[in-house]
Amino acid sequence: MRTVLVRISGPDQLGISAELFGVLAGMNAIVRDIEQIVVRRRLTLDVLIEVEKGDDVLKDLLLFGFKRDLKIDVEEVEDDPTEYSQQFVVTLIGEELTPIELNKATVAITSGNGNIDRIVRLSTYPVMSYELSVNGGDIGRIRENLLSVASILPKMDVAIQPLNLSRRAKRLVVLDVDSTLIQDEVIDLLAAQAGCEREVSEITESAMQGKLDFVEALHQRVLLLKGLDELAVERAWHELTLTPGARTFCRTLGRLGFTTAIVSGGFSIFTDRLQKELGIRHGQANHLEMVNGRLTGRLKGPIVDRQAKADFLKEIAALEGVPIEQTVAVGDGANDLDMLSEAGLGIAFNAKPIVRDAANTSLRVPYLDAVLFLLGVTREEIEAADSDDLT
């Protein structure tokens, strides 16, 4: 027996694969591997076959190619199977991925001895994204190389994930709310209604500088909201702005069978509404005490802090029967760090530098639905799901 690689290229046409395999069946060929891709209606189809040593495989294939206006290349290759070592996926995302950016990313992979087996375009809108299947190499070195490239190319984000069953079987996504699911900080929206924006901002700054811990800063800011009535809270709700792509993100996850949850150091008067509006199954946030239609300046129940967010992820995963390695967490702040590190995939979304450095993956594009591309979902699949929902 001899091993032959057959490459067919040319204009894509109906029935090419069927006719090719008919030709191969007539040769009594054994098919060992197949890969096909169509780009702008141009077909490339590779088939690895085994045939008897005396067989003339070229004649029938050339006749097939002539009838179909296809180019046929036949090459005898070694019959040793390809040895696959560790495999992983690199995702490149940016508003526009230029040849310079693609060059630096692929050089980073090659420098870590990784071999790129396949490149697939995931999207052109709202961002460009490509998924690169990589075989072999030092994943730690490649990750370091790619992060170094991303640090000097601010318009390109990179993510690297092992190509395994857990990567393909993500089933739970837990989202932070303020500056992640929404573009706002809800405490600031309420402070604007109460006329205490400056005071709240000063306390927030003190907390960020480490002069106040999170819980103390939260209590001080909530106290400034004392007396705010339900109408003012309603006005604050109408000032809230979803992050671009948030609706698409939550809708698509639901259609794919994911469980979604939100957890926030903000307030349940907002997260409860967001859950209902976006079809999010689980939620947890701080509860503002309200008496006779006015805020008392106090909180009810336990505080949702950094540890509480990580605990919530684990609780919902256990409740839904999802292994922790099949979870995704998305957030932007320091109080999301434990949650991001606990999840199977932690994504720092437009995050502070300390969070970007600690997370598995970071995204700097302003579209929340870009997270879908890190899960291997294509734009075409998103749009197809939307079309199916309308029919």
- Tokens representing 284 are 């947890």
Per annotation, catalytic residue among 55, 117, 178, 389: 178
Q: Which residues pair with 135 in a beta bridge?
A: 87, 115
Distance CA 381, CA 252 (A): 9
Residue with tokens 């259609």: 255
User: Are 174 and 316 within 8 A, CB to CB?
Assistant: yes
Tell me: cis bond preceding 366? Omega within 30 of 0 counts: no
- Tokens representing 20 are 């090719």
List Cα–Cα distances, 272 to 107, 186, 187, 227, 249, in angstroms: 47, 13, 16, 22, 18
Residue with tokens 């990589």: 134
Dihedrals phi, psi of 14, to nearest 5 degrees:
-65, 130
Residue with tokens 């006015």: 294
178 counts as catalytic: yes
Per annotation, catalytic residue among 79, 157, 176, 184: 176
- Tokens representing 230 are 């339900």
Inter-axis angle of helices 379-390 and 246-255, to 10 degrees? 80
SS3 100: helix
> Sign of torsion, CA 372 321 160 43?
negative
Distance CA 177, CA 189 (A): 14
- Tokens representing 29 are 């060929």
Distance CA 85, CA 214 (A): 45
Q: How many CA atoms lie within 13 A of 95 on its CB side?
A: 6
Q: Which residues contact 216 (CB under 8 A, 6 or more apart)?
A: 207
Cα 112–chain centre separation: 23
DSSP codes, 263-276: EEEEEHHHHHHHHH
336 counts as catalytic: no
Dihedrals phi, psi of 294, to nearest 5 degrees:
-135, 145
Residues annotated as part of the active site: 176, 178
